[in-house]
Amino acid sequence: MVESSKSHVRTALELLLCVTGIYGAYLTQGVVQESLATKTFGPDSLRFVHLSSLNAVQSWVCFIWAFFLLSIFPSTGNSKDVPPFHVYWKPGVSNAVGPACGLIALTYISYPAQVLAKSSKMIPVMLAGVIIYGKRYAPVEYFCCLLVSGGVSWFALASKTTSSKLISPNAPLGYALIAANLFFDGYTNATQDDIHKKYKNKNPLVTMCWMNFWCGLYYVPLMFLVSKTGFEVLEFCSRYPEAGTNLLLFCLCGAIGQLFIFFTISRFGSLVNTLITTTRKFFNILLSVLWNGNPLMSEQWLAVGLVFGGLLLHTAAKRVYSGGKGSDKSRGKQP
């Protein structure tokens, strides 16, 4: 009885640690991300315009961090069961393009709008499943999709005014970039699923390491050869150290957040992880309202409720229709 009680306490503490780690890392990252997107630096009130570079620098930091951890805790078992680094080059491409589109969208739409729109990932996934693969979903899942899509649309239509903090307000372009983000994320997830089917050893650190390696590798020529973005980012951060500090903090939060997500999936399953990350996005919006002064109208709060209500209901429905078994597939990217 005593041992059982200790086990329950330990499990509860581990769950609390996971929730605290994911919330702390990504709520902080959200604040830093919005600050870089809206803040001005120096006496000339210059903006940090290279938001897409955040994904590149984060990829390099996460790769170094995961590679370091793998050198300490290497994968065990048959080496043939471990995915080789080169199989991640395809999802690495989409993982470089997709999140970059989402970050650039912050130039045109507010951070709450971006978070809410990105939460509608289930819509393109279900559409692709029906149109391309002929899948069938339960009626409740279609209802959830309707709630989410309706909530996002209502939020967009209720935005009668655009924040003056935005660099270049343009809602249609911002939401188009989010749609591109969701499309590439869908491809990334599908490709990772295919890799996990072919290899038995699904060490999440391996995925985190090589996904970020390829993603960061693609950015090198784009930022330093095709364009001068890399040099401009370095010059801007050296001129305004506060921007450099925010950029580094953004990357560290991403690296820590990924580790907590992987631990949550391995310890409690993907269902618990989905619940944590879904509710975390709501608090990202709430923190944006309170911390950065992005007030929402009552209609927008109702839209937020529709979206997250639909997401939570969809998570519960998946639990029921999968027989109570959550998937243990992990992702080498930010949720």
Convert the pLDDT of each residue in 258-298 to its tens digit: 888 877 876 776 657 766 777 777 777 777 766 666 666 77
Q: Is the pLDDT of residue 324 over 50?
A: no
Give the rounded percent of residues in the chain with a pLDDT score beyond 70: 81
Q: How far is CA 334 from CA 59, 80, 211, in A?
A: 10, 27, 11
CA angle 95, 100, 105 (to 5 degrees): 140
CA neighbor of 22 nearest in space, from 184, 193, 261: 261
160 DSSP assignment:
-
Burial class, 165, CB count within 10 angstroms (exposed 0-12 / middle 13-18 / buried 19+)? middle
Kindly tell me if the per-residue pLDDT of 227 is higher than 80.
yes
| Sign of the torsion formed by the C-alpha atoms of 317, 319, 322 and 328 | positive
Closest CA to 218 of 63, 56, 86: 56
238 has a pLDDT exceeding 90: yes
Q: In the predicted model, is pLDDT for residue 330 greater than 70?
A: no
Q: Is the pLDDT of residue 60 over 70?
A: yes
Tell me the C-alpha distance between 15 and 143, whole Å: 30
